Chain A
Amino acid sequence: MRLELQGLRLAYPGAGLATISDLDLVAEKGSLTALLGPSGSGKTTVMKLIAGHLSPDAGDIRLGDRSLLGLPPEKRRVAMVFQDPLLFPHLTLAGNVGFGLRLRGLPPARIAADVEAMLARVQLAGLGDRRPHQLSGGQQQRAALARALVLRPDLLLLDEPSVGVDPLSRRSPALTRASATRCAA
């Protein structure tokens, strides 16, 4: 779906200057768009605005033919993977990846199949029973990616997705393909 940001503006309370000031951006359906900028320039803030974790002071966020403004994060069909994996510590790896699927009320057999297929795509096959603390940093980051990808969101937001991923995994064709095909939502 086409993403369009129109005149987006946000100033954190107490901050002198606006963090985001009149931002216009268009990302076409099926495209991969990268936000580049120095630390503190507002890349994560823009993603939080799109995902619904922050509300803009002005402007509009449109995905396809609908405005996302006023919609809570869970109704936007926008999945965000944060810089830290933020895996749920009380769930297994499979439980984490199947979290969103369970919320959709899918049958357990379908969830198990989707989770297994997704774990294989991010090279974590056979580790479904492990707890997050039993995984390496790179494995945790890939698990977080799998947890978002398995939902087939309309838009996937990745906040510095290669942080914590080891160099070999970063270049892994399977991982790149897994992200890229879903980014092209």
Chain B
Amino acid sequence: MRAETWRLLAGVLVALALVLPLVPLAIWSGAHGWRYPDLLPQQWSGKAWTLALSDRGGVVESLGLTLTIAIATTALAALVGVPAGRALGLYDFRGKRLILLLLLAPAILPGIALVLGLHDLFLRLGLVGTTGGVILAHLVPVLPYMTLVMAAVFAGFDTRIEAQARSLGAGPLRTFATVTLPVILPGLLTGALFAFLVSWSQYLLTLAIGGGRVQTLPLVLYSYAAAGRNDVAGAIALIYILPGLAILLFTASRVTGRGFGAVLRP
């Protein structure tokens, strides 16, 4: 077999692995009951989608809230992660290895331990049950991704390009906006993509810090699934995937420099 055929086969397998888990969700979202051992539902219905897209279902509201939280978390993570990544990527200083280790801690520690510790702290600060508290809590797992991606970006960054811009008349802010930012933008978009998706998919942290009052999409999805409404859960799950997919395609098109449509083509 030619290399091109192998590549095509690998592409099809990856696409199948990504798409196959979505098939039952799509079927569930249009099913009016689906019992074992039926291969497909006996009856179809649009009731799940009607409920999911209506005000009554709470999905549209939580979609907006989840988006707000994920975007705010990503913006805050960039605000902290870019300068932190710059310091880690460009300079050697005492304690650098310890900071790198601590940054990895949220990824190494069991999630439940992290949640319990944070919950106690946020309770004292009066942040439990607030959207702001959930955003701050999401920063804990999100910030390491952003910082480590930016540290890698800045490790290959030549600061003389900034000195050159200053020498040509640009002040520090103009230098950052017109030279540094465009140069680090592909890396920043990659970090932002990670940050957005990590925040977007948080369940445990949102449940604990949101105290049931901050209802993001994963929480709404789980509550329908727990109530046995697999049809509505299927519809929400499909809605849940869309923003992540759109951001992935947008970032891929920016990072590769190819058009939006070109990213979709093999």
Contact = CB atoms under 8 A, between A and B. Distances in A.
B182 A90 contact: yes
B167 A79 contact: yes
Given A88-B179, A103-B174, A151 B160 contact: no
Contacts of B160: 82, 84, 86
Interface in B131-187: 158, 160-161, 163-172, 174, 178-179, 182-183
A88 B166 CA distance: 13
Contacts of B171: 72, 74
A53 B168 contact: no
Contacts of A90: 182-183
A73 interface: yes
Nearest to B171: A74
Contacts of A82: 160, 163-164
A151 B168 CA distance: 8
Interface of B is mostly: helix
Contact of B164 (A72, A86, A89): A86
A60 B136 CA distance: 49
A74 B170 contact: yes
A73 B166 contact: yes
A107 to B, nearest CB: 17
Which among B158, B164, B166, B174 has the highest number of chain A CB atoms within 10 Å?
B164
Contact of B167 (A80, A84, A89, A104): A80
Contact of A53 (B158, B167, B170, B172): B167
Interface residues of B, number: 18
B166 A147 contact: no
Interface in B35-94: none
Interface string A90-105: 1000000001100110
Contacts of A100: 168-170
A78 interface: yes
Contact of A99 (B163, B165, B172, B183): B165
A82 B163 CA distance: 9
Contacts of A5: none
Contacts of A73: 163, 166-167
Contacts of A148: 167-168
A84 B171 CA distance: 22
B169 A103 contact: yes
A160 to B, nearest CB: 14
Contacts of B174: 103
A51 interface: yes
Contacts of A86: 158, 160-161, 164
Interface of A: 48, 51-53, 72-74, 78-80, 82, 84, 86, 88-90, 99-100, 103-104, 147-148, 151
6 A-B pairs with the lowest CB-CB distances in the bound complex, closest first? A100-B168, A73-B166, A90-B182, A103-B169, A86-B164, A80-B167
6 contacts: A53-B167, A73-B166, A74-B169, A74-B170, A80-B164, A86-B161
Interface of B: 158, 160-161, 163-172, 174, 178-179, 182-183
Given A147-B168, A151-B168, 9 more contacts: A52-B167, A72-B171, A74-B167, A74-B169, A74-B171, A84-B158, A84-B160, A88-B161, A100-B168
